Amino acid sequence: MKKRLTLFMASILLFVGGAFAQTQVSGTVFSEEDQQPIIGATVRIDGIKVGMLTDANGRFSLTMPQGRTKLKISYVGYESVTVTAKDGMKVYLRQDAALLDEVVVTAMGISREKKALGYAVSELQGEELLKSRGGLNNPVNALQGKVAGLQISSGAGSMGGSSKMLIRGANSLSGSNQPLFVVDGVPIEGKDFNSTDAARGGGGYDYGNLIQDINPDDIENISVLKGASASALYGSRASNGVVMITTKKAKKQQGMGVEFTSTIGFERVTKLPKLQSEYGGGYGYAALDGEDDFGEVTINGKTYITPDYGMDESWGPKLDGRQVLSWYDLAKWEANGKKGDPTTSPWSAPSSDYEDFFETGVSFTNNVSLSQVYDNSSLRISYTNTSLSGYLPNSSMYKNTFNVNGNITSPNKKLNVFTSVNFYNNRAKGRQDTGYGDNNIMVKFTQWGQRQLNMNELEEMWRYPDGTMAAWNRNDVDDPTPAYHNNQYWSRYMNYENDTRNRIYGNVGASYQILPMLKAQYKANLDFFVDKQYERNAVGSQEESRYMEISRQQYEINHEFMLMYNQIFGDYSVAANLGANIMKNHYEYVYGESVGGLAIPEFYNLANSLTQAAGYNYRREKSINSLFADVTLGWKNMLFLEGTVRGDKSSTLPTDNNTYVYPSVTASWLFSELLKDKLDWLDYGKVRIGFAQVGNDTDPYQLYNIYSQYTNIDSSTPGYRLPNTMNNPDLKPERTTSLEFGLEMNFFQNRLGFDLTYYQTNTKDEILPLSVSGTTGYIYKYVNSGEIENKGFELGLHATPVRTKDFEWTTNITLASNKNKVKSLADGVDYYRIVSSPFKVEIGAMVGEEYGVIMGTDFVYDENGNKMVDENGLYMATDGNQVIGNIYPDFTGGWVNTFRYKNFDASIQLDFSKGGKYFSTTYLWGMYCGMFEETAENNVRETGIVSEGVTEDGKPNTQVVSARDYYENFYTGPAAQSVLKSDYVKLREINLGYTFNLRPEWFVKSLRLSAFGRNLAVWGPDVKHFDPEMIVTSSGNMQGVEGGATPMVSTYGFTVNLKF
């Protein structure tokens, strides 16, 4: 075989060479920057279309025809040179800064010239992620607004919480639409393990999606492959796009490179719901029945006024300063052994309100990296440490990350053994309970509570000297046990969670340059993690005391084989890859929890369970075997045609239907090559077109019916019941088909340019658990559903309006619009429920509508569009659920301006989202319970409110109802009252930096100081109480419901970067 190929090669050269008299020339091509030989550089004889590629040693050998003396040598990312041929010559190529960004990392880690791509790829340098990270956020949030068509919603201030990413809209009805993350070729688990309850606002902790484990300090660059064309080679999991991350490798320099970066970040709560401060806790007030809520109690012969401690609403008496026996007076008195008389406090607005509960979060991030390149090897080692104390009392997080990148090449440079390993260690404590959770302090502050409560009193007296809780929400004067709520500080200090994650991901592999144009490579990619979660509810809490422990372990290994072939024939170039991949994923979950409460306070072990602790376990295995190939044909460096094909065989599908093959074809034409001489203002122009399909399987165990263990009340005969979900042995693979067109143009020495993409993506036969009517005997059934379509455009605009020696201003605008339509669901089905919220609404997909409709009761409108009011003077609600909103935006975008003046640089970023709504549970209860500002505005509690609308006889409503009845109707009336717009414009980021001029021979070679601010302001139609972004509590598709959301925070910080 080897002989034959050599012969074939030789014959080409002979054929070419035979026509002329000949001179033998050989030489080596090096990179000027690191003095390394360049493999695969094109060496052509100037004037004729004959050439070859350099081999693994950067060497070439050519026979020069007579009359030809010049060689043109080129390589992607380097400036081409034309030199006089001389035997034994050494040619040094210089990296071309202007061209550098034209090389992008594409699927399977293959570097490609951007101009050859028939699809849209967005690239970002790693440093973009570093600029404004305070150590607090999910690193992917830094991509917000920077990539057209990439929508990122970050859970506001939730320490290490989830971020939801969406590329080109939702393609999948169920599950998640999160793109696949690939770090140095290793597919990384990026999802979250949050409970459905956490996602739907029911409660539970947001542990964040695992993609936050990537470390920005080690990222060289990020490529976002948006369409199916770009990701066809990754198969199933890439149908939502791919985020390709390349980590930093050692760079050639004098001796050892040492770099040190340190960031200090601060975070402050900025966006809190606005609450009323005129009325305190309770339920009755003067306007209601002529008497207020206060009771009386006699202690030691003295009579005291008592508020309604047990009530958790704020429809109580006006805060008029009367002296009352507050919960705090009672608790202090009780703590002191009930000696003497209790004190009293004025019934007035709190001197320290709930914003005082939040602290300033502080984070420190330090990174040090060492790197060196040797003759036959290179190594980079980096360590990052982050520690932070969150803005909530008793919250903290620590992260340690090691990254090692290295390779060894054989002396002949043909064999290259390489590895990239990341070790990640994370521990966190005191994440915030979300949604309607018992210990979500936001619920207690904004939904159910008493508005006169003083934070400093709650903090000072959160427990009695005997260790039991002091509750503001006590059952009665003589009964200090909590009625519904824990003291918020008790929630934070006693009922907290903690968690840890240890993770290793990386690869080891070897490549062998068989021939100059042919390389073989094998890589083993591993992602392994152990995730532990510990949750506790202390003895003495309002809820039953509890301890639970979850242990998750997952590993995924991908064995990847590839043959890579590159060749040029005259005007034609060929690049081809043939590969195989074996993927195995193994997941295990063990869960233990106490039953019936805990015996010994503050002892957290399953052995402390009052009755035998319960345990559960779950195992899951999956494998996909794949073969894939792609071929790119180029003509005159101007026209490119690429085809790919991949076949997968998945363990999760029925054996007769588990293999699926899918192709892609893309083409691009650099029309500017033709116009280059005619239009000198046109630097670059390209049209591209792409068609691709991606097949997809599903999660394991959805084919065969099983029974769920339900009870062991009869010790001899355990009870098994039918599961809620009916499985389906006839599932077939899903298929996503996409079509995209693009136009890229740059003008005026690249000072102005745009990249426009139009796409259409249709996903068919998606496998999902269809919600079915309970009358079927099941709640869900697995089906291959119908079709969902996304159409849209993405526009990236870049301009450099000013460029002088000292001053430069560049501006980048990204815009994207996505129109989604659910075209069909399963046969005869027109609605799919994604999730139902705890109280009023559900989120679903309805045929003919956009994906993600909010279904709930609406106002009843008359034929003129007026809201109808019932005989009680309150808004009427529709009988059943109707579409009352859509959760996804129509338009998103960002605008980044970057300035450089001498050594100063600055950037400012705005981004926006338009269209889209959400249902706010906080809004509902905040109104219902008389907490929100509106419930006390304009004297409504004294004078009442008239619902704006018409009565059943068509006349304008004039009936005055009490404020409480009006606002209670937020719960009992139409759900549409609590649907808010999620539109916003946000001042996302401001960065300032100064780079000192230091000489290379100094000890410190580079010094940069910078400062940043993030999430600085938000504007929008419904941002009075909330930042619309804060509603995210999972990375999956269960979105659109706010419930006790963590408030939005702003982060600020300073960074020092030193290079030695």
Partner 1 sequence: MKNILKTTLMGTLCLTAVACSDQEAMNVNPNAASNVPSNMIMNAAEKWTMDNVYDVWFSGRQCLVYAQQWSQRNYTEEDRYQIRESVNNSYFKYLYLGLNNFQKVIQLNTNPATKDGSSAYGANANQIAAAMIMKVWLADLMTDTWGSIPYSEALKLESDGVLYAKYDDQKELYAQLIKELTEAVNMIDESEDAFTSGDIIFDGDASKWKKFGNSLKCRLAVHMSKVDSNWKNYIAEALASGVMESNDDAAKYQYSSTGSEYCKFYEGFFVDRRNDFAISKTLCDLLKGQPDTLNAKTHPWEGVIDPRLYVYGVNDGVYNGMCVATQTGVQSRIFTQDKVASWYHNQPPVLSKTFAVPLMTYAELKFIVGEYNGFNVDDYKEGVAASIEYWYDVMGESISQEDIDEYVDAVSKDVNAETYAIQKYIDLYCNGTEAWTEIRRTGYPNQILRPGEHSGVLGTTVYDFEPLSEVKGDIISRVKYPTDESTLNGANWQAAVSKLQDGTNNYYSKMFWDVRKNTYDHPANK
Residues 641-670 that bind partner 1 (CB under 8 A): 649-652, 655, 658
Distance CA 199, CA 1038 (A): 6
- Give the CB-side neighbour count of residue 389, counting CA atoms within 13 A: 6
Q: How far is CA 443 from CA 316, 357, 546, 917, in A?
A: 18, 14, 20, 21
Q: Which stretch binds partner 1 (CB under 8 A): 58-66, 289-297, 390-398, 1001-1009?
A: 289-297
Q: Which pair of tokens denotes residue 778? A: 């099941």
Q: How far is the CB of 379 from partner 1 (least distance, A)?
A: 28
Q: Does 864 bind partner 1 (CB under 8 A)?
A: no
User: b/e per residue, 182-220, with b = 16+ CB within 10 A?
Assistant: bbbbbbbbbebbbbebbbbbbbbbbbbbbbbbbbbbbbb
| Minimum CB distance to partner 1 smaller for 592 or for 700 | 700
Q: Output the six-digit token pair for 985.
A: 């414009």
**CA–CA separation, 146 and 1016 (whole Å):** 17
**Binding to partner 1, residues 968-1007 (CB under 8 A):** 972
Residue 410 within binding range of partner 1, rule CB under 8 A: no
CA distances from 723 to 175, 720, 730 (A): 19, 9, 18
Measured from the CB of residue 357, what is the shortest distance to partner 1 in angstroms?
Answer: 24
Site for partner 1 in 186-205 (CB under 8 A): none
CB-nearer residue toward partner 1: 213 or 630: 630
From the CB of 993, what's the least distance to partner 1, in Å? 49
User: Rounded to the nearest whole angstrom, what is the least distance from the CB of residue 872 to partner 1 in the complex?
Assistant: 9
Chosen residue from 276, 577, 857, 1057 binding partner 1 by CB under 8 A: 857
Site for partner 1 contains 218 (CB under 8 A)? no
Q: In the complex, what is the shortest distance from the CB of residue 853 to partner 1, in angstroms, rounded to a whole number?
A: 10
Give the residue among 271, 263, 361, 178 at the shortest CA–CA distance from 987: 271
141 DSSP 8-state letter: G
Query: How many chain residues are in contact with partner 1, going by CB under 8 A?
Result: 107
Tokens of 29: 């091509």
CB-nearer residue toward partner 1: 363 or 650? 650
CB closer to partner 1, 89 vs 288: 288
Cβ closer to partner 1: 514 or 574? Answer: 514
Of the candidates 227, 244, 455, 234, the one whose C-alpha atom is nearest the C-alpha of residue 356 is: 455
At its nearest, how many Å lie between partner 1 and the CB of residue 919?
Answer: 13
Give the range of 8-16, 235-243, 488-496, 558-566 binding partner 1 by CB under 8 A. Answer: 558-566
Minimum separation from the CB atom of position 27 to partner 1 (A): 25
Strand partners, 999: none
From residue 756 to residue 775, the character string flagging contacts with partner 1 as x (rule: CB under 8 A) and all else as - is: ---------------xxxxx
The C-alpha torsion from 323 through 329 and 334 to 339, rounded to 10°, is -60
780-784 and 725-726: which strand pairing? parallel
Query: What span, in angstroms and rounded, lies between the C-alpha atoms of 877 and 624?
Result: 50
Window 295 to 314, contacts with partner 1 (CB under 8 A): 295, 308, 310-311, 313
Q: Are 469 and 463 in contact (CB under 8 A)?
A: yes
* Rounded Cα–Cα distance for residues 372 and 465 (Å): 60
Nearer to partner 1, 592 or 596 (CB): 596
Q: Which is nearer to partner 1, 97 or 713 (CB)?
A: 713
By CB under 8 A, name the one of 196, 323, 351, 611 that touches partner 1.
611
What residues numbered 791-830 form the site for partner 1, per CB under 8 A?
828-830
Please, are residues 144 and 988 in contact by the beta-carbon 8 Å criterion? yes
Q: How far apart are CA 833 and CA 881, in angstroms?
A: 12
Beta bridge partners of residue 59, listed in sequence order: 28
Window of 41-49, 135-143, 610-618, 816-824 that interacts with partner 1 by CB under 8 A:
610-618
Pairing of strands 1048-1059, 103-105: unpaired
Does the protein bind partner 1 through residue 844 (CB under 8 A)?
yes
In the window 483-512, what residues touch partner 1 (CB under 8 A)? 483, 512
Q: How far is the CB of 380 from partner 1 (least distance, A)?
A: 30
- How far is residue 22's CA from residue 502's CA, in Å, rounded to a whole number? 63
CB 150 within 8 A of CB 122: yes
User: Minimum CB separation from partner 1 for residue 661, in Å?
Assistant: 14
Q: Are 108 and 579 in contact (CB under 8 A)?
A: yes
Nearer to partner 1, 712 or 903 (CB): 712
**How far apart, in whole angstroms, are the C-alpha atoms of residue 785 and residue 881?**
22
Nearer residue to partner 1 within complex by CB, 270 or 558: 558
CA-to-CA distance for 135 and 397, rounded, in angstroms?
10
Structure tokens at 918: 């959400």
Q: Which 528-557 residues touch partner 1, going by CB under 8 A?
A: 542-544
Cross-strand pairs, 387: 364, 398
Comparison of 263 and 486: residue with beta carbon closer to partner 1? 486
Terminal CA-CA length for the chain: 51
What x/- string results for residues 565 through 604 when contact with partner 1 is judged by CB under 8 A? ---------------x-x-x----------xx--------
Q: Which positions from 323 through 352 interact with partner 1, judged by CB under 8 A?
A: none
Residue 80 CA to residue 27 CA, distance in Å, equals 16
DSSP-derived 3-state class of residue 230: helix
| Sites for partner 1 among residues 13-42 (CB under 8 A) | none
405 near partner 1, judged by CB under 8 A:
no
The verdict on 777 binding partner 1 (CB under 8 A) reads yes
Options 77, 346, 663, 838; binder of partner 1; rule CB under 8 A = 838
Check residue 839 for interaction with partner 1 (CB under 8 A).
yes
Among 424, 684, 778, 793, binds partner 1 (CB under 8 A): 778
Nearer to partner 1, 794 or 858 (CB): 858
Site track for partner 1 across 446-475, x = CB under 8 A: -----------------------------x
CB of 483 to partner 1, least distance (A): 7
Which CB sits closer to partner 1, 675 or 706? Answer: 706
Helices 921-928 & 963-972 angle (0-180, nearest 10): 150
Measured from the Cβ of residue 972, the count of other Cβ atoms closer than 10 Å reads 11
Q: Which of residues 865-894 bind partner 1 (CB under 8 A)?
A: 879-881
Member of 87, 101, 341, 621 binding partner 1 (CB under 8 A): 621
| Residue 11 makes contact with partner 1 by CB under 8 A | no
Closest listed residue to residue 1044, CA positions, set 616, 520, 449: 449
**Radius of gyration, CA atoms only, the chain:** 33
Please answer whether residues 838 and 1043 qualify as being in contact, where contact means their C-beta atoms are separated by less than 8 angstroms. Answer: yes
Build a one-symbol-per-residue string for 256-285: x at contacts with partner 1 by CB under 8 A, - elsewhere.
--------------------------xxx-
Closest by CA to 31, choosing from 23, 40, 22, is: 40
* 563 near partner 1, rule: CB under 8 A: yes
CB of 949 to partner 1, least distance (A): 18
Q: Which is nearer to partner 1, 483 or 641 (CB)?
A: 483
The footprint of partner 1 on residues 698-727 (CB under 8 A) is 700-701, 703-724, 726
